[in-house]
Structure 1
Amino acid sequence: MLRGGFNFAGGEETPSGLSGAAARSVLLVGQAGAAPWPHFLRWRQRQSQTIADPLDTWSREMIGAVAKKFGARAVSPSDTPYLPFQQWAMQAEGLKPSPLGILMHPQYGLWHAYRGALLFEDEIGLPEPGDVIHLCDACLEKPCLKSCPVDAYSADGFAHKTCLAHVRGDNGAPCRTGGCLDRNACPYGAAYRYPPQAQAFHMAALAGV
C-alpha cells in the first residue's frame, strides 16, 4: 500500500532516479497489519526453500513491477548503501519513533512497515502530512518497556546482544514463537497485530534461528 511521499527540497542531496538523474520525489510503499502475509506465503511456496531473505526478495519483486510500470526506480530498506527510510517515513507521514524505535502510527500502532520506495525524477503533487497525535506521549504506563524478560529496551536504547542471547536461549521460546513481548505489550493498533506465524518469521530472521 502507498504510505505517503514528498518532494525533495531544492539543493538537497538525493538518490538517483531511474535514468541516473537526481530524484525529485519519493513515494513510500509498505504495509499495515498482516494483509500481505497470505500473498507472501503463496509466493514463498513456489520458491526454493534455500532462498535468502525471502520477504525482501518478494517485496523487491512486487514493488519493482510497479516501478517499471510507472517509470520509477525502486529501492529497498536493505539496499546498500542504506537510504534514510525512517527519516523519509517521518517526513511523509508525520510520525515519531516509539520507545522501541519503531515509528508509532495513530491507527496501526507498531504494526506496520515500509518495504520499499519509488523514486521519480519529476516532482509529484503531494499533500503535506497533517498534524499527527503521537500516542506514546499520552501513554504513561509504557508497558512496551516493562514486558521484556531481559529489559532489552530502555532509555539507553536497544541492547541488541542481550536480546539475541535471550531469544536464542532456553528461555526464549515465547519470543521465538510469538514475537517481541515488548512490542506486543503496546495497547495501540491491536487490530493490526501480526499473527504469531508472521511474528515468529520476523524473530527468526532477526535472531538467525
Structure 2
Amino acid sequence: MRGLIESIAAALASDGLILRGGFNITDSEAAPPGLSGAPVKSVLLVGQAGAESWPHFLRWRENQSQTIVNPLDTWSREVIGAVAKDFGARAVSPSDKPYLPFQQWAMRAEGLKPSPLGILMHPRYGLWHAYRGALLFEDEIPVQPAEAAIHLCDACVEKPCMKSCPVDAYSADGFAYESCLAHVRGTEGGACRTGGCLDRNACPYGTDYRYSPEAQAFHMASFAGL
C-alpha cells in the first residue's frame, strides 16, 4: 500500500511539482496553525526542479483571464491547495502574509545553503529550482531528517555568478535592487528581459535544469513589473 508521502508526491507530480523535503516541529518551537487552528506538527515543502511544471502552468493560464495579478502564485495556490484538501493539510504560500519563514524551512528540509545570489544552491539542480508552497499537518507524519547537502559554491573558485551582470547587481555588499531594476527596465537590459538574469545563467551547476528562455523572461517581467 502506498504511504502518505508517496501518495502526496504522486498527486503533485500530475502538475509537475515535487515534494522538497520536510521536517517535524519540536515541542519547544513556535508552530503556525493548521486547519483547525491547532499548532502544526509536520511541514512538507512543495516546489519544482527545473521547468517541469512550466507546461502545466501554461495550459492552466490559457483558460484564465490575462489580467490576473501574479498568475504563477495563483496557479500554485490552486494546485497545492487541492492536494492539501485531499490529504487533510493546510496549504501555505511564500507570498502569504504574514510571511512564513520559507527560506529557513527550505534549508532545514533539504540541508541547503544560500548561493552568493541568495538562491539556495542545490547539489543536483543548482540554482534552477523553487519552492511554491508547503503543506502543514496537525498530526506528526514520518519525515526523514535532511543531512547537510554538498554546497557547490564552496568549490567554485571563479564565482562567475558575481561577474556577469553589467551593473554588478550582486556583490559582497549584497543585492543592488535599484540598479538591477533600472537596468532590466532600461534600453541596455534586453538580454536580461528575454533570457533571464545573466549572473544566474553564468552558474556552472545544474545547467540541465535551467529554465527555458520563455520561463526566465516571464519571471524577469514579473520582477520588473513589465
TM range (shorter): over 0.9
Cα distance in structure 1, aligned partners of 2:22 and 2:148: 15
TM-score where L is the length of structure 1: 0.99
**What is the Cα-based RMSD across aligned positions, in Å?**
0.5
Within 5 Å, give how 1:1-209 maps onto structure 2. 1-209=18-226
SS in 2 for 1:63: helix
Letter in 2 for 1:175: C
Q: CA deviation at 1:130?
A: 2.4
% identical aligned pairs: 78
**5+ residue gaps in structure 2?**
1-17
Partner-residue secondary structure (3-state), 2:34: coil
Alpha-carbon deviations, 1:124-157, whole Å to 9, x = none?
A: 1111112311000000000000000000000110
- Range moving further from structure 2, 67-76 or 6-15: 6-15
For residue 5 of structure 1, give the secondary structure of its aligned residue in structure 2.
Answer: strand
Any idea what the Cα deviations from partners look like across 1:9-66, whole Å, max 9, x if unmatched?
2121111001110011100000000010001000000000101110000000000000
| Moved beyond 2 Å, runs of 4+ | none
What is the TM-score with the length of structure 2 in the denominator?
0.92
Q: Which runs of 5+ in 1 are unaligned?
A: none
Report SS of the residue matched to 1:43. Answer: helix
* Deviations 1:140-199 (CA, angstroms, capped at 9, x unpaired): 000000000000000110000100000000000000000000000000000000000000
1: distance between equivalents of 2:106 and 2:202? Answer: 23
